[in-house]
A and B are shown apart, each in its own frame.
Chain A
Amino acid sequence: SQKIEQNSEALNIQEGKTATLTCNYTNYSPAYLQWYRQDPGRGPVFLLLIRENEKEKRKERLKVTFDTTLKQSLFHITASQPADSATYLCALDMRSSASKIIFGSGTRLSIRP
């Protein structure tokens, strides 16, 4: 079955630096890969989606890359701020229509001032 690994359970970086989070998966590539943010006690919030035929996607300070050869996605937050502190979830969307999402266990990001 499909497995997702988010390599760091926790990441601690200085404000202003770029945070880079990693998501690796096994088996076949998803049609779509998504990144969500989750704050404690809250539901996930959608951030970005990247399709299997896209290499890179950007939204403001966020950037996602998708390498189907390496079976890996990288999620970058540039000019990080303490407000970016949260858990970031990688999620695989396996099909071409709206369907279930398989979530990774998340990386807890802390941005220190």
Chain B
Amino acid sequence: EPEVTQTPSHQVTQMGQEVILRCVPISNHLYFYWYRQILGQKVEFLVSFYNNEISEKSEIFDDQFSVERPDGSNFTLKIRSTKLEDSAMYFCASSEAEDSHEQFFGPGTRLTVL
């Protein structure tokens, strides 16, 4: 069964460093998302992406964040200058089409900022 994959599974970085989290969505999906979940808290929407551009973003997704689909398969989230409070699980998700509301989530990347 096709699935969303994410790498790395765990990333440790120093405060102020840039990180890139990678995702490979399901191949025929058109909509892509990033969410984060701080330990013990709810899953929070960051950004949605369609047709090579951001379609919606939350207040969390400030200028420190950017997303890119550099080729036909990868979808990346970049955090330019990480802060301690960026430590969280980051989930990538994808969905098939405009009328499809089921989002398929990846296993997540645990980001630890020291």
State whether these chains interact.
yes
- A interface residues (Cβ-Cβ under 8 A, vs B): 32, 34, 38, 41-46, 49, 89, 93, 97-106
Closest CB of chain B to A70's CB: distance in Å? Answer: 22
Q: A100-B48, A101-B45 are in contact. Are A34 and B101 (CB under 8 A)?
A: yes
Report Cα–Cα, A101/B102, bound state, in Å: 10
Is B45's CB under 8 angstroms from A105's CB? no
B103 sits at the interface (CB 8 A): yes
4 additional A-B residue pairs with CB within 8 Å, beyond A43-B105, A98-B50, A105-B41: A42-B107, A89-B43, A98-B31, A98-B98
Q: What is the interface size of chain B, counting residues whose CB is below 8 A from a CB of the partner?
A: 29
Residue interface bits B4-30, CB-to-A below 8 A is 1, else 0 = 100000000000000000000000000
Number of A-B contacts (CB under 8 A): 58
Interface string of B57-96 (1 = CB under 8 A from A): 0100000000000000000000000000000010101010
A44 near B105 with CB under 8 A, answer yes
B105 touches A93 (CB 8 A): no
Chain A residues with Cβ below 8 Å from B97 are: 98
Cβ-defined contact, A97 with B105, below 8 A: no
Contact of A46 with B102 at beta-carbon distance under 8 Å, contacts A89-B43, A99-B48, A105-B42 already known: yes
A42 to B48, CA, bound (A): 20
Check if B53 is an interface residue, CB within 8 A of chain A: no
- Report chain A residues within 8 Å CB of B48: 98-100
User: In the bound complex, do residue B107 and residue A103 qualify as a contact, i.e. CB atoms below 8 Å apart?
Assistant: no
Which of B41, B44, B56, B107 lies in contact with A99, CB distance below 8 A? B56
> Residue B43 contacts which of A44, A46, A97, A99 (CB distance < 8 angstroms)?
A44
Residues of B contacting A98 in the complex (Cβ-Cβ under 8 angstroms): 31, 48, 50, 95, 97-101, 103
